[in-house]
C-alpha cells in the first residue's frame, strides 16, 4: 500500500506498513525528537527562540516556509558539538505584510524551521544537516501521518526538506546564501 502525505506543503511519498519505513523510520525517531528538544533549549538559552527572542527584519517568503520570513545564521552547541545553525521563522497567513509582522510577530508566527549541522558522519550525503520544523511554542510539527518533522526529514524521497534543498546553489544546501561555504 502506498500513501501520499504532505511535508511542509510539499507532497511526498511513503511506503505502507509492510515497507521499509515500517521497520526503521528515516526521520522522527525518538533520538531525533530528543535531539530536537535539546536544540530548541539551546536556541532559547541563546535568545534565538521563545519569549524575548532576538528579532531580525522580515522579508517576503515563498511556500512552503511562509509569506514572510526572518532568517538567522549563527552557530549553536548541542551535546558538546558546535555546528552551523540556520533559523527560519515562518510567518503567515497569505497576504501578511512586513508591517503586520513587525508590529505583532507572535500573532503571525506559524512555524520555526531549523537546519543544524551535526557532527561529521551524521548524514554525509546531505552536508550533515539535521532538519526540524517546530511550532511557535517549540513543540515539533508533524506530517499528516503523525511523524515528527525532525532529523533527516524526507531523506531519499522525491520531495521534502532534503530533496528541495539539494537544489540550492553552492554546496551548503541553503537557498538564501552560500555564506557557510565562503567561511570555510
Q: What is the pLDDT of residue 183?
A: 54
Q: In whole angstroms, what is the distance from residue 121 CA to residue 113 CA?
A: 22
Cell of 183: 567561511
110 phi/psi in degrees, rounded to 5: -110, -25
Domain ranges of the chain: 2-183
| CB atoms closer than 10 angstroms to residue 41 | 14
User: Could you read off the pLDDT tens digit of each residue along the chain, which spans 184 residues?
Assistant: 333 333 333 333 333 334 444 446 789 999 999 999 999 999 999 999 998 899 999 999 888 888 899 999 999 999 999 999 999 999 999 899 999 999 999 999 999 999 999 999 999 999 999 999 999 999 999 988 899 999 998 887 887 888 888 888 888 888 876 554 555 5
pTM of the entire structure? 0.81
Q: Per residue in 60-72, is it b (16+ CB within 10 Å) or e — as a string?
A: ebeebbbbbbbbb
Q: In whole angstroms, what is the distance from residue 10 CA to residue 161 CA?
A: 9
SS3 40: helix
Q: What is the pLDDT of residue 154?
A: 82
Report yes or no: 28 and 133 within 8 Å, Cβ to Cβ: no
Q: In whole angstroms, what is the distance from residue 24 CA to residue 168 CA?
A: 28
Amino acid at each position: 500500500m502506498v500513501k501520499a502525505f504532505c511535508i511542509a506543503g510539499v507532497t511526498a511519498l511513503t511506503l505502507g506498513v509492510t515497507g521499509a519505513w515500517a521497520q526503521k523510520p528515516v526521520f522522527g525517531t525518538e533520538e531525533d525528537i530528543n535531539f530536537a528538544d535539546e536544540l530548541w533549549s539551546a536556541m532559547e538559552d541563546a535568545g534565538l527562540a521563545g519569549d524575548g527572542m532576538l528579532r531580525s527584519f522580515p522579508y517576503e517568503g515563498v511556500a512552503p516556509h511562509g509569506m514572510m520570513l526572518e532568517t538567522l545564521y549563527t552557530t549553536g552547541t548541542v551535546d558538546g558539538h558546535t555546528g552551523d545553525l540556520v533559523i527560519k521563522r515562518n510567518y503567515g497567513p497569505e497576504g501578511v505584510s512586513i508591517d503586520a509582522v513587525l508590529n505583532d510577530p507572535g500573532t503571525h508566527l506559524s512555524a520555526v524551521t531549523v537546519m543544524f549541522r551535526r557532527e561529521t558522519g551524521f548524514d554525509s550525503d546531505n552536508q550533515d544537516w539535521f532538519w526540524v520544523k517546530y511550532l511557535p511554542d517549540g513543540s515539533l510539527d508533524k506530517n499528516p501521518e503523525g511523524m515528527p518533522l525532525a532529523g533527516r526529514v524526507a531523506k531519499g524521497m522525491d520531495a521534502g526538506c532534503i530533496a528541495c534543498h539539494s537544489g540550492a546553489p553552492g554546496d551548503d544546501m541553503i537557498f538564501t546564501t552560500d555564506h557557510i561555504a565562503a567561511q570555510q
